Amino acid sequence: MHVVAVLNRNGGTLRSLDVEALARDIERVFRAAGHTVEVKLTGGDDLVSLMREVAADRKTEILLAGGGDGTISLAASLVAHTDKALAVLPAGTMNLFARSLEIPLELQDAIASLATGRIRQVDIARANERYFVHQFSIGMHPKLIRIRERMTFRSRIGKMMASVRAAFATLIRPPSLKVRLHMGEAQMLTTTSSLAVTNNLFAEGQRLPFAGKPDGGELGIYVTRAKRRRDLILMVLNMGIGRWKKNAQVEIHRATRVTLDLTSPNKRFKCAMDGELCDLDQKTTFELHPGALAVLAPAKP
């Protein structure tokens, strides 16, 4: 198959690596596995236009994306509902979508497993007109990202430590949003500090929140019940050990289509989609698109 790799030098862990050497490794390993391959490097400014160009090229059969969560999300949105497949190079901080696809997290291992991998169909979700592969969130998570962006860090570990500091700051002054959810015939009017809509349900027992079944065919809706700081801390601790279903501070729903209405008097809130801050619309409609994303995944033994 013809593979075109787009590596964002300024995305995720690639900013601290020898990207030219990584490009040579990708070419060598994929060619040895019988593929034809091109590698394109970008500094980030022309990432969107380059991704669009590669995705629109008839010769491209697999778009291999290397960078942070935003890079992967962009690539997925461009190949969803097409005959092209996405290959994920786990070069972000948490690599949550790569974990869902069971891609090795070490770059060399990931390259080797993808080169001999297979195409499978997984789900992708959409919030209004924008696709996401992991989650959409409002409340605490966007606030954490906003606080972290004001900090200085130069490595993956530094970003993780900044996230911890930002999480503590968010817990001290948690946000509060009034929302109305429409899930089929059910409705919910609530005030929450955190709400997430995920592309399939999070796996139980994992220390990081990622989908256990990327082709599960349903959205997960996670609504935080906790109001007091003590309960919020308990919620975060339970999340840290992967306790979702037994987490009394989180209410979980399942659906294939959800509408979220923001009813707070203050309309100037942000949301986070696959780790990227965006303006929050007063009304957001979520839809799951089952099997609409072809991905290159490690072959099962």
Structural domains of the chain, count? 2
Regions of the chain short of the pLDDT cut 50 = none
**Is residue 87 domain-shared with residue 141, that is, in the same domain?**
no
**Is residue 18 domain-shared with residue 70, that is, in the same domain?**
yes
**Is residue 16 domain-shared with residue 145, that is, in the same domain?**
no
**Is residue 92 domain-shared with residue 195, that is, in the same domain?**
no
**Is residue 162 domain-shared with residue 270, that is, in the same domain?**
yes
Q: Residue 121 falls within a domain, yes or no? A: no
Q: Residue 202 falls within a domain, yes or no? A: yes
**Is residue 82 domain-shared with residue 218, that is, in the same domain?**
no
**Is residue 94 domain-shared with residue 212, that is, in the same domain?**
no
- Please provide the distance, in angstroms rounded to a whole number, between the alpha carbons at the two ends of the chain: 21
Q: Are 295 and 88 in contact (CB under 8 A)?
A: yes
The torsion defined by the Cα of 78, 79, 81 and 82, in degrees rounded to 10, comes to: 120
**Is residue 167 domain-shared with residue 260, that is, in the same domain?**
yes
pLDDT, residue 69, reads 82
Half-sphere exposure of 29 (CA within 13 A, CB side): 19
Q: Residue 192 maps to which CATH number? A: 2.60.200.40
Q: Residue 76 maps to which CATH number? A: 3.40.50.10330
pLDDT, residue 44, reads 72
Closest CA to 63 of 300, 293, 217: 293
**Is residue 10 domain-shared with residue 80, that is, in the same domain?**
yes
The last residue of one of the domains, among 66, 84, 116, is 116
Q: Residue 300 falls within a domain, yes or no? A: no
pLDDT, residue 301, reads 67
pLDDT, residue 116, reads 98
The runs of H, that is alpha helices, within 191-276 are 229-240
Q: Residue 268 falls within a domain, yes or no? A: yes
Output the CA–CA distances (angstroms, integers) from residue 230 to 193, 235, 236, in the order listed.
13, 9, 10
**Is residue 85 domain-shared with residue 159, that is, in the same domain?**
no
**Is residue 156 domain-shared with residue 267, that is, in the same domain?**
yes
Residue 96 domain boundaries = 2-116
Q: Residue 126 falls within a domain, yes or no? A: no
Residue 48, C-beta contacts closer than 8 angstroms, at least 6 positions apart: 74
Q: Residue 125 falls within a domain, yes or no? A: no
**Is residue 60 domain-shared with residue 17, that is, in the same domain?**
yes
